[in-house]
Amino acid sequence: MSAWKVWLFVAMVACTPAGPLWSAEGAPDEKAMQEIHEVVKQLQARYEKTKDLQADFTQKTRIEGFERPVTSSGKVYIKKPGRLRWDYLDPANEQIYVNHDDVKVYVPEHKQVLIGKLTHMAASQAPLELLQGAAKLEESFDVSPATGKERGVGGIRLLSLVPKGRELDSSRHVQRIVVEVFPKTYFIRTVWLHEISGNVATFEFSSLKPNLGLGEEVFEFKTPADVEVVKAPVLN
């Protein structure tokens, strides 16, 4: 369950356009858009200076029809360009490795590793682009102020992200992505994935450590001899 939820985060995106924040007169709220552009500017500047990043994460997934959310936690490692490692540590041990278009999902308990390609399994790599730098956010996404809970910690507006150039089709799973940043540092603090089904997955990051000089060995996975290798399904 947990691995496939983060799989949506790093691979599967197909979003319904989220509209801008409108005033009572029906015109775009220019002040809100100015604030959003400033957040994007600061966010991009921060990630342009970040070569690698290590952080803890907590994930809560609210599933439509279930009273309690599914909760898990672990660590994430990111390295430019195109490298990501996502380790679930609680309640179960699972590891996800991304190397540009190659993905491996390792579940030690099942002695199984799932291998596949992002481009074969999803229509877009936009969430991966978000995690790996956000250096060109407005080139990859249509950005607008999030509606509802409009501000995060420190009074900073939340970003609503819609990947550009995505037409509506039956393979879509995610409705929109909402992002909260840390005050002062402008690193990503929280990401909400709103699915068309009504499910909402929340990823909250803490203990961020940028530019540690993470080596390639952190992102390399060597398949143990007793582990079964399974090819991931291809999505149409």
Cα 58-64-68 angle, rounded to 5 deg: 50
pLDDT recorded at residue 57: 93
Q: How far apart are CA 101 and CA 145, in angstroms?
A: 31
Are β-strands 102-107 and 112-117 bridged in parallel, bridged antiparallel, or unpaired? antiparallel
Average pLDDT over residues 198-214: 92
Look at residue 10 and tell me whether its pLDDT is greater than 50.
Answer: no
pLDDT recorded at residue 53: 92
Q: How many domains does the chain have?
A: 1
Q: What is the DSSP letter of 111?
A: T
pLDDT recorded at residue 234: 65
Percentage with pLDDT > 70 across the chain: 72
pLDDT tens sequence across 86-116: 999 999 899 989 888 888 989 899 999 989 8
On the 0-12 / 13-18 / 19+ scale of CB atoms within 10 A, 148 is exposed
Q: Which helix (H) or strand (E) holds 84?
A: strand 83-90
The answer to whether residue 225 is domain-embedded is yes
The answer to whether residue 236 is domain-embedded is no
Say if CB 43 and CB 143 are below 8 A apart: no
Average pLDDT over residues 202-210: 93
The answer to whether residue 8 is domain-embedded is yes
Percentage with pLDDT > 90 across the chain: 27
pLDDT recorded at residue 213: 97
How confident is residue 123, by pLDDT bands cut at 50, 70 and 90? very low
By residue range, what is the domain housing residue 94?
A: 2-20+28-231
CATH number (domain holding residue 207): 2.50.20.10
pLDDT tens sequence across 57-83: 999 988 877 888 889 999 999 998 888
The answer to whether residue 67 is domain-embedded is yes
